[in-house]
Amino acid sequence: MRKQLIMTVPAGPALLVSAAVLLAVGLLVGSAAATETEHLGMRVLPTPGEVTVDGKADDWDLTGGIFACGHIERQRDQFSCWFHTMYDARNLHMLVRWIDRTPMNNPHSVVSDTGFRGDCLQVRFIMPGGRTLHVTAWACGKDKKHRVDISYGKLFNEGHIRDAQQRGARQAFLKNADGKGYSQEISLPWKLVTKGGAPLKPGAKFSMTLEPNFTVGGSGRLSIKDIFKPGVEINRYSTFNNPQCWGTAVMEPKGNVKPWPVRLSGGRQYAVKMQGDLPVVNWGGGFPNAPAPVVQTPKDPPKQQPPPTPVAVVKPQPPALSPRLTIRSAPITAVSIRGDKPGNTPYTVMCSRGEEVVLLAPAYPPAADKRYAFVRWVVDGTAKTQGLIKATVSMKADQTALAVYEVKPLPETEDTPAETEQVVPDENAAEDIRADAADDSEAVAGTQAIAAAAAPSTPAETFDRILTAARQNVIIAVLGAVMLGFLVGRISVPRPRA
The residues spanned by each domain of the chain are 34-296, 324-408
In the predicted structure, residue 44 carries a pLDDT above the cut 90: yes
Q: Which amino acid is at 292?
A: A
If you average pLDDT over each of 20-24, 309-313, 360-364, 455-459, which comes out highest? 360-364
In this structure, of 116-125, 299-308, 342-351, 448-457, the range with the lowest mean pLDDT score is: 448-457
Q: In what order do the strands lie in the sheet with 336-339?
A: 343-344, 336-339, 355-360, 390-395
Mean predicted confidence (pLDDT) in 440-445: 42
The pLDDT-based confidence of 408 (bands split at 50, 70, 90) is confident
Mean pLDDT, rounded, for 28-45? 75
User: What amino acid is encoded at 453 in this protein?
Assistant: A
How does 176-211 read in b/e, with b if 16+ C-beta sit within 10 Å? eeeeebbbbbbbbbbebbbeeeebbeeeeebbbbbb
For residues 110-137, average pLDDT = 88
pLDDT digits over 347-370, tens only? 888 888 889 999 999 998 987 667
Per-residue pLDDT, averaged over 263-268, amounts to 90
Mean pLDDT within 457-481: 66
Identify the CATH class of 34-296: mainly beta
Mean pLDDT across 267-295 = 72
Supply the pLDDT for residue 416: 35
Q: Do domains 34-296 and 324-408 have the same CATH topology?
A: yes
pTM: 0.59
pLDDT at position 99 is 95
pLDDT tens by residue, 239-258:
998 999 999 999 999 999 99
DSSP letters spanning 236-249: SSSGGG-GGGBEEE
pLDDT of residue 87: 97
Q: DSSP alpha helices (H): ranges in 13-130?
A: 13-32, 72-75
CA dist 329 and 100 (Å) reads: 35
Q: Which fold has domain 324-408?
A: Immunoglobulin-like (2.60.40)
pLDDT at 350: 87
Give me the mean pLDDT over the 225-248 stretch: 92
3-class DSSP state for residue 199?
Answer: coil
pLDDT digits (tens, 9 = 90+) for 282-299: 998 544 443 333 333 334
Instruction: Supply the pLDDT for residue 13.
Output: 41
pLDDT of residue 108: 78
pLDDT of residue 476: 78
pLDDT tens readout for residues 137-178: 988 767 778 999 999 999 899 999 999 999 999 999 999 999
Rounded-to-integer distance, Cα 311 and Cα 16, Å: 9
Task: State yes or no: pLDDT of 432 exceeds 50.
Answer: no
Q: What is the pLDDT of residue 431?
A: 43
Which whole-number Å values give the CA distances from 158 to 130, 155, 385, in the listed order? Answer: 12, 8, 13
pLDDT score recorded for residue 407: 85
Give 305's pLDDT tier (boundaries 50, 70, 90): low
**According to the model, what pLDDT value does residue 446 have?**
43
| Cα separation values, 286 from 29, 30, 79, 432, Å | 13, 11, 19, 91
Beta strand ranges found along 201-246 (DSSP E): 205-216, 220-223
- Tens digit of each residue's pLDDT (9 = 90 or more) over 75-102: 999 999 999 999 999 999 999 999 999 8
Cα 362 off chain centre by: 18
